[in-house]
Amino acid sequence: MSVQASPSPSGPGFQTRASELASRWLGSPLQQAWESGYVPLQDTTHEPAGVFHSGADKAAYEAGQFHVTVPLPYGPATQTVRFDHGTTRTLPALGADKALHTESLGHCPTASCPAWLTVTGIRATTERVRTSQGEATVPAWAFQIKGYQGEFVFAAVRPEASLGSAPGQEPTPPPTLPGYQGASLISVSADGRTLTLGAATGCGKLPPTGLVYETKDVVVVGATDKPAPTSPGTVCAADERLVRLQVHLGDVLDGRTVLDVANGQPEAAMG
């Protein structure tokens, strides 16, 4: 295994945490879901532009208060997600009614929810979703709601895992790592040897340095998070911002999973 940082070497705290995360990842349920299952990296619910017409409509949507005026269509018991790289994943289907309530809180988010949304049309469709396995075509239901132009689209299958959590489990982030912070993966160079990361900086902080830890299976990324000397009485505005950093790998990324040192979550490039 190799440990690299750009431009200065990573400290022992980063290395120790990164090694632990890499060891825990191998063979975990999340690894299996991430590498061969259906794990969306984006919202799978799509709403018309400009929603909602009123706060009452938004509250009704969040409460799941829908009045369906058309027959609910019957769907198959299973639905198939088709990944662009050629594989498929067949999963238990979400019927139209369950899909429609995917975003529902199960209760009114405000003091009262007097409004109801009227569903006037339902059709089976598909949507394009960015997943841990790349782009995929996902079965979906499209709903027409009275008073709204365009359709409300909901996936017809549930994710096999949420980003950063194993199937059926909530993520448990590791303890805080003083002096270090997590980093988001922005992009990978064409030759697979340079990662562009995003890290936070701002008043009262030294510019962060990107850090990377490599094994043959996993790449763990992060950045330094050190305070800068300030004069007594200095007041910092809330100006935290994201800066881009580059780290260079000892070998091409070549399918290895990238983990964030702050929370142990897998990452995929934003682009």
Note the pLDDT of residue 57: 94
**43 domain-assigned:** no
Rg of the chain over all Cα atoms, to the nearest angstrom: 22
Segment holding 124, helix H or strand E: strand 117-131
Give domain status of residue 95, yes or no.
Answer: yes
The answer to whether residues 199 and 245 touch, using CB atoms and an 8 Å cutoff, is yes
Report the C-alpha gap between 141 and 154 in whole angstroms: 5
In a domain, 98, yes or no: yes
**How many secondary structure helices (H) and strands (E) does the chain include?**
4, 15
For residue 114, the model assigns a pLDDT of 86
pLDDT at 8: 37
Domain end position, chosen among 128, 155, 182: 155
| Averaged pLDDT in 10-residue chunks for the chain of 271 residues | 41 86 92 92 93 93 95 95 97 96 89 91 97 95 97 95 56 78 95 96 90 96 90 72 95 94 89 61
Omega before residue 173 within 30° of 0, cis: no
Q: Is residue 46 part of a domain?
A: no
Which residue range(s) make up the domain with 64?
55-155
In a domain, 47, yes or no: no
Question: pTM of the full predicted structure?
Answer: 0.77
Same domain, 97 and 74: yes
Other C-beta atoms closer than 10 Å to the C-beta of 47 total: 17
What is the spatial distance between Cα 222 and Cα 184, in angstroms, rounded to a whole number? 8
CB 94 within 8 A of CB 150: no
State both tokens at 138. Answer: 């996902």
pLDDT at 110: 83
Helix residue spans in 40-160 (DSSP H): 55-63, 96-100
In a shared domain, residues 226 and 135 = no
Show which of 126, 155, 184 is a domain's final residue: 155
Q: Are residues 190 and 139 in the same domain?
A: no
- The contacts found for 123-126 with CB under 8 angstroms, 24 or more apart, are 123/73, 124/73, 124/75, 124/156, 125/153
- pLDDT at position 173, please? 64
State the number of CA atoms in the 13 A half-sphere of 137 facing the CB: 9
pLDDT at 230: 73
**Inside any domain, residue 198:** yes
Q: Which contiguous run of DSSP H or E holds residue 122?
A: strand 117-131
| Longest CA span, the chain | 69
* Number of residues in the chain: 271
Tell me, what's the pLDDT at 38? 95
* Alpha carbons 143 and 154: distance in angstroms, whole number: 8
pLDDT for res 187: 95
CATH number at residue 65: 2.40.128
Of 161, 138, 154, residue with least CA distance to 90: 138
Query: 132 in a domain, yes or no?
Result: yes
Domains in the chain, number: 2
Structure tokens, 36 = 């061969």
Instruction: State the Cα–Cα distance between residues 260 and 210, nearest whole angstrom.
Output: 12
Contact 189, 246 (CB under 8 A): no
